[in-house]
Structure 1
Amino acid sequence: MISHEDIKNLVGEWSLREDIIEKDYVIGWILWGIGSDPDVGPRWAFKGGTCIKKCYIETYRFSEDLDFTVLPGGPIKLKEISSILDRILKRVAEESGIDFSLALTKIKQREFPLSVEARIYYRGPRNTPTPASIKLDLTALEKVVCPSVLCKIAHPYPDKLPNPGRVRCYTFEEVFAEKIRAMGERSRPRDLYDIINLFRRGALRSQPKYIRSILIKKCKTKGVSVPNYKLIKDSPYHNELRSEWENMLGHQLQVLPPLEQFWEELSHLFDWLEGTYVPKILASLPIQREEDTTWVPPSTIYNWELRIPIESIRFAAINHLCIELEYRKKGHDACNYLIEPYSLRRTKKNNLVLHAIITGTQEHRTFRVDWIE
């Protein structure tokens, strides 16, 4: 198990509370336990916001729940789940040192729809007197439209997950479609944040027809209408979405972006699904001669082990936020810049460089990361 000091170091680098970082750490280990278990590893499909963050791309929203769909033939009965979770947590404890013995895992079953909710209690690196908890939701009746896939679990901590460190997941496209369906039904702040975050990513923008076809199938099996902008705008949950934006997301993000920034893009998302809107693709900044074209930044949050909060800069880039930068070239006085981060790259000499646009002048500048103060 990592130390409390390791978590304290990440607080400065990631601009997050200790308890949030610790929970993300424990979630990674529990996912390893599930993914490597012979009974549930092939039969539980990971989904939802935590799946996006831990297995696909960095959303910078530290989601707190584990959501799985039980595939046909997979265990869902209460006695089975109790025995399996006991076995998984014992293995995780042996490998990681995380203590799951302070309180019994609470498990309850719902008959319709057939599902199980478990509350897993743990004591992690902070060694707090009162155990924290993680919620695990299993549902057996949801239709999985696309064949599930094995994904690597992101674990940016000093200890390493034992091989293979993978868990079975919904495909990236189905996770997106499922999030859009959830937004249509519940209009929760986390669903709006996630779908706009995914909409902004180039990896999915070329597939509106495919994602819409998955969405239609998922809505049909649920017996709900295919969501659109008007449906969500007129939703009885709309006022709650606005009032709960800060309360539900504030503790999960480094800085809470304004709600309107996300709401304004929602109509574009649905027009894109309908084929009537083509998102503007930001122009790529030219590759500099000294840059290593084979290197790409990690797809999920990373422990850079530097004094510069690189993840805060990446967070600003993804959420279209500006940041103030103090920069001191070697042998020069420090200068302050207000910038919009654009691209993180690495030179052939292994120096990280940040490409950014200067706010106001729109000038393109390059900053060596180790000269940022």
Structure 2
Amino acid sequence: MINKFELARKAKEYGLQSSTIEKDYVLGWILIGIQNHPRTRDSWVFKGGTCLKKCFFNKYRFSEDLDFTLLDAQQMKEETLRSILKQIVQWVYEQSGIEIPENLISLDPHRSLSIQGKLPYRGPLKQPVPYPSIKLDLTANEQVVLKPEKRKVFHEYSDCPTEMPQILSYSYEEIFAEKLRALAERARPRDLYDVVHLYQERHRLTDIEKLLESLQGKCAFKKMPMPNLVTIEQHPQKSEFLSEWKNMLHHQVKDLQPFEYFWKYLPDIFSWIYHSKNNF
């Protein structure tokens, strides 16, 4: 396990709290553990904002949770899931020294084929009880439209394994589509932040038709209309974008741009998606 002085150096480099860097460090080791486990490496598909940070954009907003779509619904059974997590956290402790007490892991069935959990940890900062925790969001009730990809995990710490594993994750097109759907459905600051950055890096797309295919499939699965500028502007929770912008993101991003900077991109984003299919 790295020491708190390495965390402090990283925190100074990124202009963030040491606790934020510690969480990123622990997240990385849990991801390595998931990839190491024979029952999860080919059936847990990584997605969400943490996937963007750990697999696509190394210099990106820090995230706080782990989101996965499970291809094997049988693993959603609590007894099975606890057994798998027990083996993963034991392996992580053996490899890194990070403590994730098995008896403190919580699992809460959230809705049909979805579970939210918390993984309390004791890392380099040796924080006292109650330990900080990482949120785990698992679902087997999700439409994976495009073939998942194996991607290297970014883990720039001194105890990084010599050969970093590749974890199963959403493709760029699929994660872009998922973020667009989430933006239209729940209107959270982090979704707007992510959508704008995905658009700014749109050269990474291999085919915009795949983005549209994934977006259509996800919206149909959720029985919701395709997102557009009007639906976002008229969202009942739009006011929360502005009121919660800094509160939800300032601890994850150094020099956070104001809300208006991101909001102004939306007309261009939707015009590009629906009218300029070949404009990469």
1:185 aligns with 2:185: yes
Pick which of 192-201 and 96-105 moved more.
96-105
Aligned counterpart, 1:298 = none
The answer (yes or no) to whether the contact 1:98–1:123 under 8 Å persists in 2 is: yes
Q: How does 1:223-372 map to 2 (within 5 A)?
A: 223-276=223-276
The answer (yes or no) to whether the contact 1:103–1:121 under 8 Å persists in 2 is: no
User: Aligned partners of 2:220, 2:5: CA distance in 1, in Å?
Assistant: 50
User: Aligned partners of 2:254, 2:173: CA distance in 1, in Å?
Assistant: 26
Partner-residue secondary structure (3-state), 1:219:
helix
Aligned counterpart, 1:125 = 124
1:116 aligns with 2:122: no
1:154 aligns with 2:154: yes
**Alignment-mate amino acid for residue 101 of structure 1:** P
Calculate percent identity across the aligned residue pairs: 41
Larger Rg: 1
**Alignment-mate amino acid for residue 120 of structure 1:** L
TM-score (norm 1): 0.71
Aligned counterpart, 2:97 = 97
**Alignment-mate amino acid for residue 11 of structure 1:** A
The answer (yes or no) to whether the contact 2:193–2:262 under 8 Å persists in 1 is: yes
How much is the aligned-residue C-alpha RMSD, in angstroms?
A: 1.8
Post-superposition Cα deviations, 1:288-344, rounded to whole Å, max 9, x if no partner, equal xxxxxxxxxxxxxxxxxxxxxxxxxxxxxxxxxxxxxxxxxxxxxxxxxxxxxxxxx
Partner-residue secondary structure (3-state), 1:251:
coil
The answer (yes or no) to whether the contact 1:32–1:165 under 8 Å persists in 2 is: yes
User: Aligned partners of 2:102, 2:88: CA distance in 1, in Å?
Assistant: 16
| Poorly superposed stretches of 4+, deviation over 6 Å | none
Q: Cα offset for 1:263? A: 0.3
1:221 aligns with 2:221: yes
- The answer for unaligned runs of 5 or more in structure 2 is none
**Count of aligned pairs:** 279
The answer (yes or no) to whether the contact 2:62–2:253 under 8 Å persists in 1 is: yes
- The answer for unaligned runs of 5 or more in structure 1 is 282-373
Post-superposition Cα deviations, 1:68-110, rounded to whole Å, max 9, x if no partner, equal 0010455110111111111100000000001113861011123
Which one scores higher on RCO, CA 8 angstroms, separation ≥ 6?
Answer: 2
Aligned counterpart, 1:83 = 83
Partner-residue secondary structure (3-state), 2:99:
coil
Partner-residue secondary structure (3-state), 1:108:
strand
User: Aligned partners of 2:103, 2:128: CA distance in 1, in Å?
Assistant: 12
**Alignment-mate amino acid for residue 158 of structure 2:** P
Aligned counterpart, 2:37 = 37
The answer (yes or no) to whether the contact 2:7–2:22 under 8 Å persists in 1 is: yes
Q: Cα offset for 1:253? A: 0.6
Partner-residue secondary structure (3-state), 1:123:
coil
User: Aligned partners of 1:59, 1:233: CA distance in 2, in Å?
Assistant: 29
**Alignment-mate amino acid for residue 168 of structure 2:** R
Aligned counterpart, 1:297 = none
Q: Please identify which structure carries the higher helix content.
A: 2
Aligned counterpart, 1:56 = 56
Post-superposition Cα deviations, 1:327-372, rounded to whole Å, max 9, x if no partner, equal xxxxxxxxxxxxxxxxxxxxxxxxxxxxxxxxxxxxxxxxxxxxxx
The answer (yes or no) to whether the contact 1:40–1:75 under 8 Å persists in 2 is: no
The answer (yes or no) to whether the contact 1:78–1:108 under 8 Å persists in 2 is: no
